[in-house]
Structure 1
Amino acid sequence: MSDTSGLDLTRFSINQQTVKQLSLPELVDACVDLGVPAVGLWREPVQSYGLDAAAKLVRDAGLAVTTLCRGGFLTAIDPDARAKALDDNRRAVDEAATLGTDTLVLVSGGLPAGSKDLRGARERIADALAELGPYAASNGVRLAIEPLHPMFASDRCVVSTLKQALDIAERFPAEQVGVTVDTYHIWWDEDAPAQIARAGASGRIHTFQLADWITPLPEGVLNGRGQVGDGSVDMREWQGYVEAAGYTGSIEVELFNDELWARDGRELLAETAARFVEHTA
């Protein structure tokens, strides 16, 4: 395993998806061994391990849980599908609270089958948040809308820019709804720095995530996030924007990449920690 001794990992958080080849106990053990102080967890592996058992595991290890991924998928038109989505998001809020994180990341959802109405889909997200926001806040959890790169607008997320995310989030108190700033999804947007400042002014930067943009994109773009430092994104520049906007929290590295997942998970975690230190302030 690579040596991480001497690295300042105070603000580093490893998103579970980055090293999904590790089981939750393996991830926790590796974090303790390497001095990684925090993790961002995903619902599916947590549910597989057992919610209460997972909460105890990370708590006993002294790890902070920075976020839970993911809620959302709130664009359904069908009333039954909408009701199921709202119920699932309430469960996600409950899970976040049990795990001890105050931030549930939302991937808002794509266009329903047969629809071409982006504006209508975004309005249905706002309608859902009007119900979910107060419930989340009553459980000490904030909802963080994550804009995804426009290539995902049709099937995963009709919210493609920070401006679109904030236009929805600002309808609600900041302790209910804010945004996720993810370099992979917004690095191309020349308006994003101004929108980060806008988000910071109202206390709505709920989490900051790093991933690089590599070209050519791997086959299957969903798993095309590059290791920090391997692509086109200036991490320090974007860190500067969020910190100028008042963000002082943990910084997650969240990678989706088949080549990285094929490697030894502990070695990948150590490399990711080292890259974090190398490419952030």
Structure 2
Amino acid sequence: MSRARTTREGLARLSVNQETVRQLSLAELARGAAELGIGGVGLWREPVRAHGPAAAARLMRRHGLAVTSLCRGGFFTAREPAARRAALDDNRAALDEAAELGTGVLVLVPGGLPEGERDLAAARERVADALAELVPAARERGVRLALEPLHPMYAADRCVVSTLGQALDLAGRFPAEEVGVVVDAYHLWWDERVPRQLARAGAQHRIALLQLADWVTPLPAGVLLGRGQLGDGAIDLRAFRAWTEAAGYRGPVEVEIFNPALWERDGTQVLRETAARYLRHVL
């Protein structure tokens, strides 16, 4: 196979999440990705709402781009009935937005521990209860709910689901076509159980999306915005691609990086660099 063909086919599978180049408008992102031959984009609700979901969908179709995911729903762990109802209503709105965009994946960050609570198991059960409420709406809209386990450093404030195994246990209560999991190398790279859990996920047809970013240290204050450009850190990104493919996953590979240093640069250059790093460090 020629290098040019390998590059073309590889970039067709690549998706760049909007947050990687948040300095670009939706129109700039669509135009830049299409010019490079990138096949898809992952979108976030706030800028999509500002643009209008229908208009955003038309824009991506015009440029031949798949919307590989919509971020994010979730945050299901509140105990108070009013807060739980508000979270469910917001997630139903997210499902509507995902359906209008034409994506089949709504990424869910389950939520952290409410103030004063220390019972992780009870919080995870509230996540399961919320999924049960949302599955009928997801089925009607043709959108898959995709649980994303986050690194344990986020367990208190963002995500009580820290391992792929925990995410699969929750997803396994529901049909695979309705609830899957997001495999994000940034959150899972440290766990030696991941290859086995990926095999389990593949056997159950649970892998909804593969996301990549690199782990660089020292982590910044607050840790949320410390993701590294592909190839700059400690993660064997090529291994994650190989493990998910061995598990049967053939979907998009979405690069999602939260990093102010990247946001301060020219967004088109960052987009070009991301494509080059993907070809060098992932394929």
Instruction: Give the TM-score, by structure 1 length.
Output: 0.97
Instruction: Measure how far apart 1:275 and its partner are.
Output: 0.3
1:81, 1:159 → 2: CA distance? 20
Instruction: Measure how far apart 1:81 and its partner are.
Output: 0.4
Gaps of 5+ in 1: none
Question: Which of 246, 249, 252 pairs up with 2:248?
Answer: 246
Instruction: Measure how far apart 1:5 and its partner are.
Output: 11
Instruction: Measure how far apart 1:6 and its partner are.
Output: 8.2
In the alignment, residue 222 of structure 1 is paired with which amino acid? L
Q: Tell whether 2:39 aligns with 1:40.
A: no
1:33, 1:55 → 2: CA distance? 18
Q: Secondary structure at the match of 2:77?
A: coil
1:188-207 matched pairs, under 5 angstroms: 188-207=190-209
Paired residue for 2:263?
A: 261
Question: Which of 213, 216, 219 pairs up with 1:217?
Answer: 219
Rate the CA distance shift 1:261–1:194 in 2: closer, same or farther, 3 A: same
Contact (CA 8 Å) 1:13, 1:251: kept in 2 or not?
yes
Q: Secondary structure at the match of 1:68?
A: strand
In the alignment, residue 117 of structure 1 is paired with which amino acid? D
CA deviations on 1:102-153 (whole Å, 9 max, x unpaired) are 0000000011111111111000000000011121022111011000000000
Contact (CA 8 Å) 1:214, 1:232: kept in 2 or not?
yes
Gaps of 5+ in 2: none
Contact (CA 8 Å) 1:147, 1:185: kept in 2 or not?
yes
CA deviations on 1:144-182 (whole Å, 9 max, x unpaired) are 100000000000000000011011000000011010000
1:72-221 matched pairs, under 5 angstroms: 72-221=74-223
Rate the CA distance shift 1:6–1:201 in 2: closer, same or farther, 3 A: closer
After the TM superposition, which segments of 4 or more aligned residues of structure 1 sit over 6 Å from their partners? none
Rate the CA distance shift 1:5–1:205 in 2: closer, same or farther, 3 A: closer
Instruction: Measure how far apart 1:30 and its partner are.
Output: 0.9
Instruction: Measure how far apart 1:279 and its partner are.
Output: 1.0
Question: Which of 18, 21, 45 pairs up with 1:19?
Answer: 21
Instruction: Measure how far apart 1:28 and its partner are.
Output: 1.0
Q: Secondary structure at the match of 2:12?
A: coil
2:6, 2:122 → 1: CA distance? 51
Instruction: Measure how far apart 1:218 and its partner are.
Output: 2.6
Contact (CA 8 Å) 1:149, 1:161: kept in 2 or not?
yes
2:23, 2:167 → 1: CA distance? 31
2:271, 2:136 → 1: CA distance? 36
Instruction: Measure how far apart 1:78 and its partner are.
Output: 0.4
Contact (CA 8 Å) 1:7, 1:274: kept in 2 or not?
no
1:219, 1:274 → 2: CA distance? 29
The share of aligned pairs that are identical, in percent, is 64
Contact (CA 8 Å) 2:13, 2:38: kept in 1 or not?
no
Question: Which of 55, 74, 78 pairs up with 2:57?
Answer: 55
1:125, 1:234 → 2: CA distance? 31
Q: Secondary structure at the match of 1:7?
A: helix
In the alignment, residue 137 of structure 2 is paired with which amino acid? Y
1:39, 1:113 → 2: CA distance? 35
Contact (CA 8 Å) 1:51, 1:95: kept in 2 or not?
yes
Instruction: Give the TM-score, by structure 2 length.
Output: 0.96
Paired residue for 2:7?
A: 7
